[in-house]
């Protein structure tokens, strides 16, 4: 099986072109993504035929679970399709990709590489989802943007955003490098309140155009970057009045640009790079 290793801001993936999207890919994802013993990656990307778009993407985490969407995965997949000639030149400016979260649009964005439309953020209890018991489905946006938890004797306010996949963003006044993400990340991910688990981001607003952040990804652990996580951070910051419409999210692996007008679709811009190609036996 031929594969290509790519990354966007250090968020790395193994990409496989496949015809059969319905086989059991979870064991292969776990084996290929395993660091030191496999190829090593934050996820397995499948590039598949689509009946509703030009391309179709499925993404599996290193634990074998499937993610609904993946921002940097989309950037890498589109970049690969363009560089390997899978798209005709007239299609390059506007590309449609089918994902489990719906069809996403992408385009070449000059010096910023690939710009991906990540859909409109959602804030409903069922969108995350949150287990709040029966009769508690009414959305309180103030609660979703300051959802309180107490974990390891720490009180955290989580800003809950769905970008097609679930995110909990915590804004810190201290440097994100000092936050005990490896200790608290898996605990937040697996809180009983989140029956499908959750991605966890810790962020610090530097100014209205810049935010530092780290991400604990559901089913992966800490990653050097996360596209949908960067979008969730920008959405929460914009809702809280911390930033304007465009912001650079500085992550350990690099910078991702996010643009949101506070109403419609969120746009993520990043660069992708092919690291190497190989064959899996």
Task: Name the residues annotated as catalytic.
Answer: 70, 226
The span from the CA of 149 to the CA of 130, in Å, is 13
- Which are the contacts of 250, defined by CB distance < 8 A and separation ≥ 6? 206, 210, 211, 212, 213
The span from the CA of 197 to the CA of 191, in Å, is 7
Contact criterion met (CB below 8 Å) for 57 and 16: no
Question: What phi and psi values does residue 24 have, to the nearest 5 degrees?
Answer: -80, 95
Query: Hey, how many other C-beta atoms are within 10 angstroms of the C-beta on 110?
Result: 8
The span from the CA of 134 to the CA of 209, in Å, is 41
Q: Please, is 96 exposed, middle or buried when counting C-beta atoms within 10 Å of its C-beta (0-12, 13-18, 19+)?
A: middle
| Stated length of the chain | 281
Nearest to 41 by CA among 50, 27, 53, 30: 30
């Amino acid at each position: 099986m031929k594969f290509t290793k790519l990354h966007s801001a250090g968020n790395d993936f193994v990409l496989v072109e496949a015809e059969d999207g319905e086989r059991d890919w979870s064991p292969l994802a776990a084996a290929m993504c395993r660091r030191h013993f496999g190829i090593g990656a934050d996820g397995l990307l499948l590039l598949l035929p689509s009946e509703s778009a030009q391309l179709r993407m499925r993404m599996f985490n290193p634990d074998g679970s499937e993610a609904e969407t993946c921002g940097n995965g989309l950037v890498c997949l589109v970049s690969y399709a363009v560089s390997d000639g899978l798209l005709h030149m007239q299609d390059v400016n506007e590309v449609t990709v089918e994902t489990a979260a719906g069809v996403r649009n992408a385009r070449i964005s000059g010096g910023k590489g690939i710009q991906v439309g990540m859909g409109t953020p959602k804030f409903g209890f069922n969108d995350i989802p949150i287990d709040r018991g029966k009769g508690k489905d009414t959305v309180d946006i103030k609660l979703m943007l300051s959802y309180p938890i107490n974990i390891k004797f720490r009180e955290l306010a989580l800003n809950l955003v769905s970008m097609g996949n679930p995110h909990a963003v915590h804004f810190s006044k201290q440097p994100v490098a000092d936050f005990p993400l490896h200790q608290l990340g898996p605990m937040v991910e697996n809180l009983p309140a989140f029956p499908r688990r959750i991605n966890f981001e810790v962020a610090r607003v530097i100014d209205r155009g810049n935010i530092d952040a780290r991400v604990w990804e559901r089913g992966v652990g800490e990653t050097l970057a996360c596209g949908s996580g960067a979008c969730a951070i920008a959405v929460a910051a914009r809702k809280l009045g911390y930033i304007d419409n465009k912001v650079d999210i500085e992550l350990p692996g690099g910078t991702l640009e996010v643009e949101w007008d506070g109403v419609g679709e969120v746009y993520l811009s990043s660069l992708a790079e092919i690291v190497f190609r190989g064959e899996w036996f």
